[in-house]
């Protein structure tokens, strides 16, 4: 397998899909001349030209709307937000146009568009630039939401998202762009809505995704093993539609569940997972579901306060100990 960074995996996905289908194009702030704010679109302007790699003004509502219109008439846009925090400026476009057009047109207009860019906290970017927004987009009927945690998943899922006939919200992690991992050789896609067990285990199921999985959950494994706890780690990969069957099967084996996410606790994705597991696997639970989230505060700018507000290994171990009745 090839070893590539997350930004290279995403770049390969867009490159391959643009070569495969001339209707695919990329638009966003600094995606062309500057090769992308995070260099995800490196080299694509030189390869495909200014008609398919388009720099836009700093006007998210405007270029999101242009992308939606292009998708309605048969093109397949990829719209990059410099950060998902800026997507809030275009929230009306995503919610009231992209998500609802197929239904409100009686099936006459598909909207095959991908909105992608970095989400969640990076390092000391303060509250307005550090939000994990997957729950507010997953709440909207008509949108699919993807949050990959590995290079392999990022490439395979982005290719599937570009080929999908419906609008897809694709949330990446800014701090993972330079991190490297394996991807398969040659052409491959990963189906939307299919999760994966990242680590087999027997004592407790931990569900997480994106940076929270890689930077917090996986780093908690050695400490859990030191305590004699063998955790099974499940990555849904797609937030909506979610592979609940995979999580249910894991909980039936381990009888305990901890959900770790980077977003706020109230009405978070973890709350929905908790509901579904309580409904589908209640008799298998030996303890109430525990959640580890960002604290219910705007994320502080101060480095120590930022770290204290986000999930971490200590909080995850504490939650696991609780469901294991070790405290």
Catalytic residue IDs? 60, 129
DSSP secondary structure string for all residues of 77-146: EEEE-SSGGGGGGGHHIIIIIITTHHHHTTTS-----EEEEEES--SS--GGG----HHHHHTSTT-EEE
The residues near 104 (Cβ < 8 Å, ≥ 6 apart) are none
Whole-angstrom distance, CA of residue 246 vs CA of residue 88: 32
Cα-based distances in Å from 157 to 17, 186, 207, 264: 12, 15, 19, 25
Tell me if 207 sits within 8 A of 260, measured CB to CB.
Answer: yes
The token duo for 87 is: 């997507």
The token duo for 237 is: 């990969």
Tell me if 49 sits within 8 A of 113, measured CB to CB.
Answer: no
Of 41, 21, 22, nearest to 31 by C-alpha is 41
CA–CA–CA angle 192, 106, 68 (5° rounding): 60
Q: How many CB atoms lie within 10 A of CB 207?
A: 30
């Amino acid at each position: 397998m090839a070893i590539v960074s997350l930004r290279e995996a995403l770049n390969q996905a867009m490159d391959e899909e643009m070569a495969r289908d001339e209707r695919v194009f990329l638009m966003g702030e600094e995606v062309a001349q500057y090769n992308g704010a995070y260099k995800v679109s490196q080299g694509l302007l030189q390869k495909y030209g200014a008609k398919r790699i388009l720099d836009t003004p700093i006007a998210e509502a405007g270029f999101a709307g242009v992308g939606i219109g292009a998708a309605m008439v048969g093109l397949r846009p990829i719209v990059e937000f410099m950060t998902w925090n800026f997507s809030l400026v275009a929230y009306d476009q995503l919610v009231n146009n992209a998500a609802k057009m197929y239904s409100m047109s009686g099936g006459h207009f598909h909207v095959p568009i991908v909105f992608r860019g970095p989400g969640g906290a990076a390092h000391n970017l303060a509250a307005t630039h550090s939000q994990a927004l997957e729950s507010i987009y997953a709440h909207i009927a008509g949108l699919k939401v993807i949050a990959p945690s590995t290079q392999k998943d990022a490439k395979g899922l982005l290719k599937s998202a570009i080929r999908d006939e419906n609008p897809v919200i694709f949330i990446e992690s800014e701090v993972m762009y330079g991190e490297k991992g394996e991807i398969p050789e040659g052409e491959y896609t990963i189906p939307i809505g299919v999760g994966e067990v990242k680590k087999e285990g027997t004592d407790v199921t931990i569900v997480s995704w994106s940076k929270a999985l890689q930077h917090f959950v996986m780093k908690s494994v050695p400490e859990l093993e030191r305590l004699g706890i063998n955790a099974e780690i499940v990555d849904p990969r797609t937030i909506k539609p979610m592979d609940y069957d995979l999580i249910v099967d894991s909980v039936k084996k381990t009888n305990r569940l901890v959900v770790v996410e980077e977003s706020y606790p109230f009405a978070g994705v973890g709350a929905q997972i908790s509901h579904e597991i309580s409904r589908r696997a209640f008799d298998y639970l030996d303890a109430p579901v525990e959640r580890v989230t960002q604290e219910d505060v705007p994320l502080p700018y101060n480095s120590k306060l930022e770290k204290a507000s986000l999930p971490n290994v200590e909080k995850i171990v504490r939650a696991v100990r609780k469901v294991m009745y070790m405290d």
